[in-house]
Copies of this chain bind each other. A is one copy, B any other.
Amino acid sequence: MDFISFITSLVTSFVIFVILMLLFTWLSRKPSNSVIYCSNRILKGMEPWEGLRTRNPFSWIKEALSSSEADIISLSGVDTAVYFVFLSTALGILVFSGVLLLPLLLPVAATDNNVVAHSHATSNNTFNDLDKLSMGNVKAKSPRLWAFLVGTYWVSFVTFYLLWKAYHHVSDLRATALSTAELKPEQYAIIVRDIPAVPQGKTRKQQIDSYFRKIHPETFYRSMVVTDNKQVNKIYEELEGYKKKLVRAEAVFEASKTASKPEGTRPTNKTGFLGLVGEKVDTITYCNEKIDELVPKLESEQKITIKEKQQGSALVFFNSRVAAASAAQTLHARMLDTWTLTEAAEPRQIIWGNLPIKFYARHIRQDIVYAIVFLTIFFYMIPIGLISGFTTLANMMKILPFLKPVLKIDVVRTVLEAYLPQLALIIFLALLPTFLMFLTKFEGISTESHAVRGTAGKYFYFTVLNVFIGVTVGGTLFTSFKTVQKEPKSVVSMLGKGLPANATFFITFVALKFFVGYGLELSRLIPLIIFHLKKKYLCKTEAEIKEAWAPGDLGYATRVPNDMLIVTIVLCYSIIAPIIIPFGVTYFGLGWLILRNQALKVYVPSYESYGRMWPHMHTRIVAALVIYQITMLGYFGAKKFVYAALLVPLPVLSIIFAYICSKKFYRSFSHDPLEVFVQDESKETPDLASIFRAFIPPCLKSEKFDDADQQFEDAPSHVSKSESSV
């Protein structure tokens, strides 16, 4: 990639960004779009954005900058606040690094002339002006390399310092959130899995109740056996479907009552496959019939489910937070493959279907999933390597000669050269997350937030291994393969030239990500178009419209690994080509600003895990740091710099740092520490019945029962108050 196409790429990205910003400014002022640009505020019952009325198009920036962490927590939860800690930590690392590295390393590199000398010597004119600013321009064994060595240390220590501070801060956030007096039903419950076979003459419920009442006579409240809800859920969803259809048909019927035809047209539909075949019926009558038929069916199925479809898993409720947290963390059974206990998560994020999966099945599933992920990562290596090798214009012209006339047009050529490799990569990566999420849930994980973390982890390994290492090594090896064949000893110097060459590729990659990616993010062009199409052609009822603009959450499963990839890339090239740092700073700065706006106004979190994502982010930043340190060690070696050995302590230090952090903080993220519960412990007894009800799945809730939880009981269990502690 030469200098012209590099600039072209940046300028094109920037133009797209400006267009998207103008679109945003224009579109977000229309009140009809407020459901797209202020969905979170609307759902929270707030005024949909005061800025709408002001004439200042940058008011959202002011709002984003002036919002506090407490605002974020109240509007979008602790997880979102933790995500911003991650963004600002990454930003901080890059800013601090840049402050020293840019003034120090750029002049040191620019005033040497390794690249020019080499290209004169070999008469090969592929270098570009950017390469002069990189470490590749410093001669081998030059004492100038000392400056780069110092830089390597500086980046590492900046990272350690900021990560340490961030971990402390996130730990405080989590503790504060956990300790608030606000009632969180999940803090009173634990998930019990792997319950052994029911003993003769007892029901599953009696078995569970007697087990826990014996051990926790004072604190056990009651239990809820997990049932196989597949059947009842099917009926429930069918029923809900007909209810929606009915509302919709009535709306259509109302709308058809025009002045000219006051009686209206009763909507009809066909009963067969997809409404395309079968008997034609009056929709309103048909739906009413179906609903009347399904309601008793649902009720009887609910009874059958609760009585006969009990699984070897349950939720157990305690009458205090300390008791529940203690029970979840304490070993109960002698055989660890029975009575597995974990802290419960919010009802909305429990994956009910996974709870009854047995201990060994879970482990085997996990092994299978890991094997599949491993294969996926390593077999995608080949296509990615090929793509990054082939998608250069020169290669395309060779392989697809019929495209030559098109490719010789200057504009096409420049644009293609700038975008081809990156676009191929980005589209390629879009295919993966759904597959990884499916795999992660298949492992038998019990909560959505855990599944998201698992998916993010897999996606991170994938992106780092395939995009970063794959492209670097693949690209370098491909372009230099012929030279190596002639002169095998030049591999090391080839690498020394190849890494900075890839830096240009990654700079444009980062720029594309923030200009186009964040431009689209802020303007929400695609959700907006989809919403308007749906509203115009599909939605008939209020509920349908609301569904059409539902904003979703921030999508950590792909967002975090993508950010992590940028962290890895920018860290790794921070010394080799320090010019990448401003791009990284822009990525995280712009990201922070735009996502702050989105978090405050648009996205609605779909769960709350109180910052359990953080340790994973932390560990992966350290992993990126280790990759960076090892890369530097190799690159200094390629420069034949004998003092490169001074870098050996760095990866060791990083590993010790990660170890200390995990020892000091990690367990308080995977479990609830008891001391947070006593800080504001209100002495009032919580409403245990409502806590219990919060966990009843919607398909088992019945309006006919006054007390919804009654149906879960053969005989209601009482808190034993007869025995008092000594």
> Which chain A residues (201-237) contact chain B, with CB distance < 8 Å?
211, 214-216, 218-219
Once the chains bind, are A664 and B725 in contact (CB under 8 Å)?
no
User: A668 and B335 in contact (CB under 8 A), knowing A219-B725, A330-B326?
Assistant: yes
Determine if A28 is an interface residue (Cβ-Cβ < 8 Å). no
**Which listed residue (B211, B335, B674) contacts A330, Cβ 8 A?**
B674
Q: Contact at A675–B330, with CB atoms within 8 Å?
A: no
| A180 at the B interface (CB under 8 A) | no
Q: Are B330 and A330 in contact (CB under 8 A)?
A: yes
A725 and B320 contacting across the interface, CB-CB below 8 Å: yes
Within 8 A of B (CB), among A709-726: 719, 723-726
A672-B667 Cα distance, complex, nearest whole Å: 20
Complex Cα distance A341/B190, Å?
A: 22
Q: Which residues of B sit under 8 angstroms from A327, Cβ to Cβ?
A: 326
Q: Which residues from 92 to 109 on chain A have a C-beta closer than 8 Å to any C-beta of chain B?
A: none
Q: Which residues of B contact A333 (CB under 8 A)?
A: 668, 673, 675
Is A575 an interface position by the 8 A CB rule?
A: no
Q: A171 to B335, Cβ gap below 8 A? A: yes
A424 on the interface (CB 8 Å rule)?
A: no
Q: How far is the CA of A725 from the CA of B325 in the complex (A)?
A: 16
The reply on A295 being an interface residue by CB < 8 A is no
With A329-B329, A685-B726, A726-B319 given, is the CB distance from A663 to B334 under 8 Å?
no
Query: Chain B residues near A325 (CB, 8 Å)?
Result: 330
Is the C-beta of A539 less than 8 angstroms from some C-beta in chain B? no
- A335 close to B674 (CB less than 8 A): no
Known contacts A215-B322, A215-B678, A675-B215, A667 near B331 by CB under 8 Å: yes
Are B337 and A672 touching (Cβ within 8 A)?
no
Which residues of chain B have C-beta atoms less than 8 A from A332's C-beta? 673-675
Q: Name the CB-closest residue of B to A221.
A: B726
B725 close to A336 (CB less than 8 A): no
- Which residues in B have their C-beta under 8 angstroms from that of A672? 331
Query: Cβ of A169 < 8 Å from any Cβ of B?
Result: no
Chain B residues with CB below 8 A from A339, complex form: 675
A510 within 8 A of B: no
Distance, CA A332 to CA B216, complexed state (A): 19
Closest to A679 in B: B214
Judge if A451 is at the interface, Cβ distance under 8 Å. no
Q: How far is the CA of A674 from the CA of B724 in the complex (A)?
A: 19
Query: Which bucket holds chain A's interface residue count?
Result: 35 or more
Residues of chain B within 8 A (CB-CB) of A360 are 660
Q: Does A413 reach chain B (CB closer than 8 Å)?
A: no
Known contacts being A329-B329, A725-B319, is A215 close to B674, with CB within 8 Å? Answer: yes
- Measured between alpha carbons, how far is A71 from B125 in the docked complex, in Å? 90
Q: Is A38 an interface residue (CB 8 A)?
A: no
**A314 beta carbon closer than 8 Å to chain B:** no
Residues from chain B with a CB closer than 8 A to the CB of A683 are 723
Tell me, yes or no, whether A363 is within 8 Å of chain B by CB: yes
Is A82's CB within 8 Å of the partner chain B? no
> A215-B678, A319-B726, A320-B725 given as contacts; is B336 within 8 A of A666 (CB)?
yes
A214 and B666 contact, CB distance less than 8 A: no
A188 to chain B, nearest CB (A): 12
Q: Which residues of B contact A665 (CB under 8 A)?
A: 335-336
Nearest CB in chain B to that of A678: its residue: B214
A676 contacts the other chain (CB 8 A): yes
A671 touches B (CB below 8 Å): yes
A136 CB to closest chain B CB, in angstroms? 39
Q: Are B663's CB and A337's CB within 8 A?
A: yes
| Measured CA separation A671–B331 after assembly (Å) | 7
User: Known contacts being A218-B218, A319-B725, is A664 close to B335, with CB within 8 Å?
Assistant: yes
9 A-B pairs besides A215-B322, A336-B664, A359-B663 with CB distance below 8 A are: A211-B675, A218-B218, A319-B725, A326-B330, A332-B674, A333-B675, A334-B676, A683-B723, A685-B726
Interface pairs (21), CB distance under 8 Å: A171-B334, A175-B334, A211-B675, A215-B322, A218-B218, A218-B725, A219-B725, A320-B725, A326-B327, A329-B330, A330-B674, A331-B667, A331-B668, A333-B668, A336-B663, A336-B667, A337-B664, A339-B675, A359-B663, A683-B723, A725-B725
Q: Which residue numbers of A lie inside 8 Å of B, CB to CB?
A: 171, 175, 211, 214-216, 218-219, 319-320, 322, 325-327, 329-337, 339, 359-360, 363, 660, 663-668, 671-678, 683, 685, 719, 723-726
Nearest first, the 4 A-B pairs at minimum CB distance are A218-B725, A329-B330, A214-B678, A685-B726
